[in-house]
């Protein structure tokens, strides 16, 4: 085993943590409507929970409005009920064969709450990445103890692990900053 193998093994974990973080960010409401706010909300259709994105088309005809056009009109009551339970701060309105959700203007207090939530989620992601780094570092140290890895390579591995953490950490920070700007708009 080499230190590169240990690092290669944890790289997908970092990628997974970053992608999960980006999905969580998409669910945080900003001043603008976006399909990701409602697409994963589950509606009880015929006794089965299904995400809204599987029940119809989702669009944003206006800046603070989401329009859901179900594939089947029988889904409308389930979608309406799911949106009411989701506590988005807006109530769905059924208009013929579609459901319209008009998002209210965000208050400064709510924006501050979202920014705190954003910080918490970014810290959780970074902690996950640090745990993966520690696992890889322990693996490298164990390999060095039994002589599979030279002492020089052990420290090269530590440096590369830190570069990996720094790289993914900066990607998390960039995503946080973009979302912070969206929230403040």
**pLDDT for 108:** 85
**pLDDT for 134:** 92
Under CATH, what is the fold of the domain 35-102? Gyrase A; domain 2 (3.30.1360)
User: Is residue 117 helix, strand or coil?
Assistant: helix
Written as six digits, the tokens of 91 are 């109530």
How far apart are the C-alpha atoms of 136 and 5, rounded to whole Å? 10
Q: What is the pTM of this model?
A: 0.70
**pLDDT for 182:** 81
How far apart are the C-alpha atoms of 157 and 142, rounded to whole Å? 12
100-128 residue pLDDT tens:
988 877 788 878 888 888 889 899 999 99
**pLDDT for 29:** 66
Radius of gyration of the chain (CA): 22
Q: Where in the chain is the domain with CATH 3.30.1360.40?
A: 35-102
Structurally, at CATH architecture level, domain 3-27+107-184 sits in Orthogonal Bundle (1.10)
- For the chain, 185 residues long, the average pLDDT of each consecutive 10-residue run is 84 92 79 80 88 90 89 90 81 89 82 86 92 90 88 89 92 91 80
How far apart are the C-alpha atoms of 3 and 141, rounded to whole Å? 9
Q: Where in the chain is the domain with CATH 1.10.132.20?
A: 3-27+107-184
């Amino acid at each position: 085993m080499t230190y590169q193998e240990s690092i290669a093994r944890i790289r997908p974990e970092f990628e997974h943590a970053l992608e999960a973080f980006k999905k969580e960010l998409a669910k945080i409401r900003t001043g603008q409507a976006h399909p990701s706010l409602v697409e994963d909300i589950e509606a009880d259709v015929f006794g089965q929970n299904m995400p809204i994105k599987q029940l119809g088309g989702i669009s944003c005809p206006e800046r603070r409005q989401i329009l859901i056009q179900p594939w089947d009109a029988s889904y409308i009551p389930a979608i309406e009920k799911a949106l009411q339970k989701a506590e988005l701060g807006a109530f769905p309105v059924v208009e013929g064969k579609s459901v319209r959700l008009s998002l209210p203007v965000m208050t400064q207090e709510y924006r501050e709450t979202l920014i705190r939530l954003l910080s918490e989620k970014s810290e959780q992601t970074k902690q996950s990445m640090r745990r993966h780094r520690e696992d890889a570092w322990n693996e490298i140290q164990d390999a060095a103890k039994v002589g599979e890895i030279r002492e020089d390579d052990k420290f090269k591995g530590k440096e590369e692990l830190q570069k990996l953490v720094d790289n993914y950490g900066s990607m998390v920070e960039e995503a946080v900053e973009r979302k912070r700007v969206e929230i403040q708009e």
